[in-house]
Structure 1
Amino acid sequence: MRLLTDPHPGGSERLLILLPGAEIALEDFARQGFIAAVRERGYAFDIQCAALDYTHVMARTVESTLHTEVIQPAQTAGYRQIWLAGISLGAFNSLLYASQHAAELAGLCLLSPYPGTGDILGEIRSAGGPQSWLETPEAQQGDERVFWRWLAECQRSDHWPCPIHAITGTEDRFIRGQRLLMDTLPATCRTELPGAHDWPAWQAQWAHWLDHGPWSRA
């Protein structure tokens, strides 16, 4: 997997991994100001952009590839705190990983998360929502059901192994599914801002999270 790394000038034991959406190049995180926004705020993180994409989703290797090629090497390198932040499909992939390895992570930031395919979203709605769907046989199947099942179980127990913060735009083309997903999260961990499914919206969401999220309170 191709990786781009931007180390903190003073070194850090904290790592922020950025996962791109579909048709987003790793270099776009720098071009669109995501890395500069972290540096401008003085957050002491090394930043790594990882080229996890739809081919991994189709092959069902998101979790294994991210774990063996990114997370485990980071742990071996001495990082004590690892965050995942993803845009759209990158947020989807973050959830797939966290559903299996939440204990490995300090937290997730989901920007305009892609909520999954229409058939599975319809399945959840037809059941009456994630909690009712959790009782159906379909909930035990694969694909993104893995993270939907995990989210519903966390919501039911009110136990979250790692914090999850989700932000999207009110005009996002996936807003209906995103709201279904975000409603599983604690109210303080979900935000809607003006915007669509594009870079201006993602930049605003990123700035909002950096300014109001857990790091700003540390």
Structure 2
Amino acid sequence: MPALHYHWGGAEARASCLLVLLPGFFDDPDAFERQGVVDQIHRARPTCDVVAMSLHLYDYRDESVVDRVHEDVVLEARRRGYRQVWLVGISMGALAAVLTAREHPEDIDGLVLVSPYLGTPGFAQRFERELARHGGLVAWARATPDRPCRYSRVLHDPRPVWRWLAGYGMHPDRMPPLWLAFGRDDRFADAQRLLAGEVAADHQLVVEGRHDWATWRRITQDLVAELPLELASDESAPREALPRGQLARRPAASDW
């Protein structure tokens, strides 16, 4: 899978944590650097490495989206010795993050869902009425049989995703930590607000903004510094944030 690996400090400096960035529908891996997000992360967490992935609609259509994230990046990160692997998804990339954690929760140390796509506005309105009839998300999930999740259909009917997300209310100790952030005027905010009702107040961030990079940059700047990441990569050789323009990028389309 095409991906960009951002590693600082030279080969001798080993990071303990990796943030895996999953883009939205129209973006490629380079978008995170072009929009300044990689630089923001590095300034906030100079001892964390970053991988920006490529995801497309056809990864859902051919049912490969979870295997691509888990096998191509998460398992490879574990092989390379990263102790923490967090998935940071924007928009449709946040859906990919949830799907991966749903299938492999033991391999994910945390989820950051930025303006997540969790259903169209029409779906969110229908789903909210459905939840009201059952008495909330947890009651709905307990009354709803778990069924296989067809990734090719989940963009249109994300109920299997919501059933898994209900676990944060049913058995939070078995779920990976989750942070949620979105703009108040996001076009998918109806579904995002439904999820916000299940997330601890200190694990969510709502800012002024829409479903765009201006909002996502603001969220990244405010949120990444709050994540409980392992900051020490090598206590004997700490790494410092690089001045702007000195970002050390290593493309890894073949060897990551």
- TM-score with structure 2 setting the length: 0.77
Moved more, 173-182 or 52-61: 52-61
Residue equivalent to 2:52: 49
Higher relative contact order (Cα pairs below 8 Å, separated by 6+ residues): 2
2:181 to 137, 151, 167: 167
Paired with 1:41 and 1:15, the residues of 2 have a C-alpha distance of 13
Q: Structure 2 vs 1, CA of residues 169 and 216 (structure 1 numbering), >3 Å: closer, same or farther?
A: farther
Residue equivalent to 1:188: 202
Pair 1:134-2:134 in alignment: no
Paired with 1:200 and 1:29, the residues of 2 have a C-alpha distance of 12
Residue equivalent to 1:211: 225
> Deviating runs (4+, > 3 A) in structure 1?
117-121, 135-141, 215-218
User: As a proportion of its length, which structure holds more helix?
Assistant: 1
Listed as ranges, the gaps of 5+ residues in structure 1 are none
Residue equivalent to 1:125: 129
Q: What is the SS of the residue equivalent to 2:166?
A: helix
Residue equivalent to 1:155: 169
Moved more, 172-181 or 62-71: 62-71
Q: How many residues align?
A: 218
Residue equivalent to 1:59: 62
Aligned sequence identity (%)? 30
Paired with 1:56 and 1:95, the residues of 2 have a C-alpha distance of 15
Paired with 2:231 and 2:49, the residues of 1 have a C-alpha distance of 19
Residue equivalent to 1:108: 111
Residue equivalent to 1:7: 7
Query: Greater Rg, structure 1 or structure 2?
Result: 2
Residue equivalent to 2:40: 37
Aligned alpha-carbon RMSD (Å): 2.3
Listed as ranges, the gaps of 5+ residues in structure 2 are 233-256
Paired with 1:42 and 1:74, the residues of 2 have a C-alpha distance of 18
Paired with 2:172 and 2:111, the residues of 1 have a C-alpha distance of 17
Q: Residues 197-208 of structure 1 correspond to what in structure 2 (within 5 A)?
A: 197-208=211-222
